């Protein structure tokens, strides 16, 4: 499962990198379906980071990997 998530995040990364940021995988909790990521670069301090996480990263991951229930930034 973790490799599947990492692969999908690699597909998302170029969109974030185009704006000077990126996302890195931290962990996946199977029991809760929670993916933990770290926003880095420009994404880490961006006022739109919450929207990027919720309506970008989380939406894509949940659509592609049914076991994922939520994505949080740590």
- What is the secondary structure of 4-69 as a DSSP string? HHHHHHHHHHHHHHTTTEEEEEEEEETTTTEEEEEEEEGGGT-TTHHHIIIIIIIHHHHHH-TT--
pLDDT digits (tens, 9 = 90+) for 9-35: 999 999 999 999 999 999 999 999 999
What pLDDT shows up at residue 71?
A: 98
Domains of the chain: residue spans and CATH: 2-73 (3.30.300.130)
pLDDT, tens digit, 9 for 90 and up, residues 42-63: 998 889 999 999 999 999 999 9
User: What is residue 45's predicted lDDT score, i.e. its pLDDT?
Assistant: 87
| pTM for the structure as a whole | 0.93
């Amino acid at each position: 499962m973790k490799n599947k998530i990492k692969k999908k995040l690699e597909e998302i990364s170029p969109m974030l990198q185009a704006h000077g940021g990126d996302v890195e995988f931290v962990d996946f909790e199977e029991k809760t379906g929670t993916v933990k990521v770290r926003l880095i670069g420009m994404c880490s301090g961006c006022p739109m980071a919450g929207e990027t996480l919720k309506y970008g990263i989380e939406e894509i991951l949940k659509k592609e990997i049914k076991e994922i229930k939520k994505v949080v930034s740590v």
